[in-house]
Structure 1
Amino acid sequence: MDGASTSSGALRALALELKGLQSSPVEGFTINTNDDNLFIWTVGIFGPPHTLYQGGYFKAVIRFPPNYPYSPPSVKFLTKVWHPNVYENGDLCISILHPPIDDPQSGELACERWNPTQSVRTILLSVISLLNEPNTSSPANVDASVMYRKWKEGVDDQYAQMIKKQVDESKEEAARDGIKVPETLEEYCIKTNPVVDDALDDFDDLYNYDESSEEEEIEEDDDDSGQGEN
């Protein structure tokens, strides 16, 4: 498969995902895209209620590779985020964004990493979950990880104070962007649309084809070509 066809397939996959997210929104984040470059999405992640990040508005950019969804995108926070799984430059470190190979050093299995069934939806929901429950076994920010463990153990509340400061700063950015950040569960949760999303069906069809059906089509083509020779 050449580069042009690979990029074309990625664009189709991204367009279908975007359509699905627009028709069936998920609580916890907003998405903005540039029609000129669908390989870069800007997202706004809302801190979930009843967590340290409640009321926060954290912007990030998702960059997709030309062979998406067969390779994972990258996620980089534009808003300053002090978190065990976020490097100080804003890069997010999370298992499902790692290529699907066994890495003895990290301790992650290939099954825990990226695969083509993952999507922007699953990535962002994982990020939201990670805000409340960081993975401290292999931290990207060691200082944040140590600080978080001390807070969880009730030894030091410096971690909570730092997150509160960043949440307050992010609210100012939300105001500049004209975004109303949900503070309560009622505001945060979105009622799902009971209508089946055609875009997601198309996405499944694109990557979950039946190999046996493909073989049958090939056999039929062979039969037709043989009849034509008689």
Structure 2
Amino acid sequence: MAQHGHHVASSQKALMLEMKSLQDEPVEGFKITLVDESDMYNWEVAIFGPPNTHYEGGYFKARIKFPVDYPYSPPAFRFLTKMWHPNIYENGDVCISILHPPVDDPQSGELPSERWNPTQNVRTILLSVISLLNEPNTFSPANVDASVMYRKKQVVGTKAEAERDGVKVPITLDEYCVRTLIPPTDDGSNLLYDDYYDDEELDDDDEEDNEDCCYDDSGTEDS
């Protein structure tokens, strides 16, 4: 029991120092408060969606829940706002390597160095969350549908660039074959038009997308 008391004292001290540091030098785009003034182990985070991302102008709430042996074990980070993002689970849990305990787990495809260690802190977590919103990892999605949507959105996002360059992107197979000098070959190089063809053939493509995103129900994923 004495051991437990020691953990609580040292983790509370660590958390108070971190809270002070974040108040003195805030991380851009975040507002942090305690859920309850008497409990250092539950933080509420408000995140402002980063400009030039799909989340621009958004206001998202999250909770960080710390274990009593923090910083030796990682906290849990969960969004309260419904998030549509490839690396955020339905229940709001965020899937980032640094929030995984530092056990050597060859199954996960993560190096122990990418996982939690006591030099990580709330600041590094917040920066990881922001970079996740900026650049989702669509190859190991926690939310398969969001990943498929996101990839389709990325394609849609390229259309403006094509217009700026005065390029008309072929949408249908017919247009593609007429306007493209290189005829599609049988060895798969006609995959070029798949991304654009996606919009027409949504249902067929979803099946394929789901298969190749290294996702399984046990919650492990490659990073």
The TM-score bracket by the shorter chain reads 0.5 to 0.7
| CA distance in 2: counterparts of 1:89 and 1:45, whole angstroms | 17
**C-alpha distance after superposition, 1:104-125 (max 9, x if no partner):** 2221111001111111111011
User: 2:63 aligns to what?
Assistant: 61
Q: Deviation of residue 45 (structure 1)?
A: 0.8
**1:19 maps to 2:34:** no
| CA distance in 2: counterparts of 1:3 and 1:137, whole angstroms | 40
User: 2:51 aligns to what?
Assistant: 49
| Residue 142 (structure 2) aligned to one of 122, 140, 143 | 140
User: 1:161 aligns to what?
Assistant: none
**1:78 maps to 2:65:** no
| CA distance in 1: counterparts of 2:90 and 2:146, whole angstroms | 10
Q: Which has the higher contact order (CA 8 A, sep 6+)?
A: 1
**Which residue identity lines up with residue 23 of structure 2 in the other structure?**
Q
Q: How does the TM-score come out when normalised to structure 2?
A: 0.67
Q: Deviation of residue 147 (structure 1)?
A: 1.7
Structure 1 stretch displaced more, 147-156 or 84-93:
147-156
SS at match of 1:137: coil
Identity fraction in percent = 67
**C-alpha distance after superposition, 1:181-214 (max 9, x if no partner):** xxxxxxxxxxxxxxxxxxxxxxxxxxxxxxxxxx
**Which residue identity lines up with residue 29 of structure 1 in the other structure?**
F
| Residue 128 (structure 1) aligned to one of 107, 127, 130 | 130
Q: How does the TM-score come out when normalised to structure 1?
A: 0.65
Q: Deviation of residue 132 (structure 1)?
A: 1.5
**C-alpha distance after superposition, 1:9-67 (max 9, x if no partner):** 10000000001111112211000112211000000011111111111111000000000
Q: Deviation of residue 152 (structure 1)?
A: 2.1
Structure 1 stretch displaced more, 59-68 or 119-128:
119-128
Q: Are the equivalent residues in 1 in contact too, given 2:48–2:59 (CA < 8 A)? A: yes
| CA distance in 1: counterparts of 2:25 and 2:134, whole angstroms | 24
Q: Deviation of residue 7 (structure 1)?
A: 1.0
User: 2:39 aligns to what?
Assistant: 37
**Which residue identity lines up with residue 105 of structure 1 in the other structure?**
Q
SS at match of 2:106: coil
| CA distance in 2: counterparts of 1:46 and 1:102, whole angstroms | 34
Structure 2: stretches of 5+ with no match in the other structure: 157-195, 200-223
Structure 1: stretches of 5+ with no match in the other structure: 158-230
Q: Are the equivalent residues in 2 in contact too, given 1:32–1:41 (CA < 8 A)? A: yes
Q: Deviation of residue 153 (structure 1)?
A: 3.2
Q: Deviation of residue 142 (structure 1)?
A: 1.2
Structure 1 stretch displaced more, 81-90 or 97-106:
97-106
Q: Are the equivalent residues in 1 in contact too, given 2:27–2:126 (CA < 8 A)? A: no
**Which residue identity lines up with residue 82 of structure 1 in the other structure?**
W
Q: Deviation of residue 3 (structure 1)?
A: 0.7
RMSD in angstroms over aligned alpha carbons? 1.5
User: 1:90 aligns to what?
Assistant: 92
**Which residue identity lines up with residue 21 of structure 2 in the other structure?**
G
| CA distance in 1: counterparts of 2:56 and 2:135, whole angstroms | 14
User: 1:10 aligns to what?
Assistant: 11
**CA separation of 1:56/1:92 partners in 2, compared to 1, >3 Å: closer, same or farther?**
same
User: 1:109 aligns to what?
Assistant: 111
